[in-house]
């Protein structure tokens, strides 16, 4: 069987990089895309050392021209992994419209630009796989991550609709939902208002409380590694019998609780578990 070509966005860091390495090691032809190719030097070196079929390509998911050019260079893509993303973090009241549009540009319009770039050819071929990296925040919103959660809820909805629309053409769509994963993601957040340390903000006490709650949510054990998300992505590609793949004990716990409880019971259970009095 011919090698499958996988294109991954945001491959220079965290989950994208772990996925590029795992899939290249498994014999896929990997197009590891990133907006700054200088950040891909280590990955290129690892590919050379290990004899992987891995090519770096420039792709900024927020830029139409960049997306067009990357997919022109890519040629036929069997598997698209929409991984690039970031978080705007802070109280909703303190967000500017620009924060909202930037959040959606990367986390929602970015994946859509890439999906639209691959769908016509996948449809004509009658095969293809699209994996969208969402988050447990794409199912359950929390204080201070309203914009991020809104963007991932949107990505979940688009993915679910797409799943119904394109399954008919032989194209699979999967959603991967990590909990807290040990990557530079938190360091790359855009912090706003109280989230950025504004001591005059009426939301300032919430920040401390929520930071403590997050530690409790993640538990005492070691944090989930990006390789666990890469494993889930591989399972989605190779097994592909589920629409959604939660990753990590915190994601499993929150999603299982949410499924069993109504809104009020869930809120009260989480408040109790996390010591949240705000």
Can you give the binding site for ligand NAP, defined by CB under 6 A? 9-10, 12-16, 34-36, 39, 59-62, 83-86, 106, 110, 133, 135, 178, 180-181, 183-185, 188
Contact 175, 232 (CB under 8 A): no
Specify whether 48 is catalytic: no
Nearer residue to ligand NAP within complex by CB, 34 or 194: 34
**Whole-number minimum distance, CB 35 to ligand NAP, in Å?**
4
Q: How far is the CB of 60 from ligand NAP (least distance, A)?
A: 4
Catalytic residue among 11, 13, 148, 245: 148
3-state secondary structure of 131: strand
Smallest separation, CB 133 to ligand NAP (Å)? 5
Strands 128-133 and 79-82: parallel
Residue 218: CB minimum distance to ligand NAP, A: 9
> By C-beta, is 16 or 195 nearer to ligand NAP?
16
* Distance, CA of 118 to CA of 54 (rounded, Å): 19
Is 46 strand, coil or helix?
helix
Q: How far apart are CA 126 and CA 150, in angstroms?
A: 32
Between 90 and 110, whose beta carbon lies closer to ligand NAP?
A: 110
Q: Is 13 a catalytic residue?
A: no
Q: Active-site residue among 11, 13, 152, 201?
A: 152
Alpha helices for the chain (secondary structure H):
14-25, 41-50, 64-74, 97-104, 110-125, 146-166, 204-218, 226-238, 249-260, 263-274
**Nearer Cβ to ligand NAP, position 83 or 201?**
83
Residues 6+ apart with CB under 8 A from 227: 18, 22
Cβ at position 169, least distance to ligand NAP in Å = 26
In angstroms, what is the minimal distance from the CB of 239 to ligand NAP?
Answer: 21
Q: Whole-angstrom Cα distance, residue 254 to residue 6?
A: 31
Phi, psi for 76 (deg, rounded to 5)? -70, 125
The label of the residue with tokens 């220079």 reads 12
Active-site annotation holds for 28: no
Of 13, 134, 135, 201, the catalytic one is 134
First to last CA, the chain: 57
User: Quick one: 111 or 201, whose CB is closer to ligand NAP?
Assistant: 111
CA distances, 210 to each of 79, 216, 264, 269, 275 (Å): 37, 10, 19, 15, 9
The answer to whether residues 95 and 150 touch, using CB atoms and an 8 Å cutoff, is no
Nearer to ligand NAP, 34 or 95 (CB): 34
Catalytic residue annotation: 134, 148, 152
């Amino acid at each position: 069987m011919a090698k499958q070509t996988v294109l991954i966005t945001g491959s220079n860091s965290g989950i994208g990089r772990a996925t590029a390495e795992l899939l290249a090691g498994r014999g896929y032809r990997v197009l590891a895309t990133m907006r700054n190719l200088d950040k891909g030097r280590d990955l290129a070196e690892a590919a050379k050392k290990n004899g992987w079929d891995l090519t770096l390509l420039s792709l900024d998911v927020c830029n139409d021209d960049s997306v067009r050019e990357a997919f022109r260079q890519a040629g036929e893509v069997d598997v698209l992994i929409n991984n690039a993303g970031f978080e705007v973090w802070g109280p909703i009241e303190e967000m500017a419209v620009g924060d909202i549009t930037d959040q959606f540009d990367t986390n929602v319009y970015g994946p859509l630009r890439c999906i639209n770039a691959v769908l016509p050819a996948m449809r004509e071929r009658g095969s293809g796989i699209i994996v969208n990296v969402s988050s447990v925040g794409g199912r359950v919103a929390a204080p201070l991550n309203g914009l991020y959660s809104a963007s991932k809820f949107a990505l979940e909805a688009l993915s679910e609709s797409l799943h119904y629309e394109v399954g008919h053409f032989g194209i699979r769509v999967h959603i991967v939902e990590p909990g807290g994963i040990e990557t530079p993601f938190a360091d790359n957040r855009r912090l706003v208002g109280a989230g950025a340390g504004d001591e005059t903000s009426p939301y300032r006490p919430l920040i401390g409380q929520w930071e403590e709650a997050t530690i409790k949510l993640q538990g005492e054990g070691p944090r989930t590694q990006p390789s666990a998300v890469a494993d889930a992505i591989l399972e989605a590609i190779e097994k592909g019998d589920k629409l959604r793949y939660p990753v990590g004990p915190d994601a499993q716990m929150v999603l299982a609780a949410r499924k069993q409880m109504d809104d009020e019971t869930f809120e009260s259970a989480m408040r109790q578990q996390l010591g949240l009095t705000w």
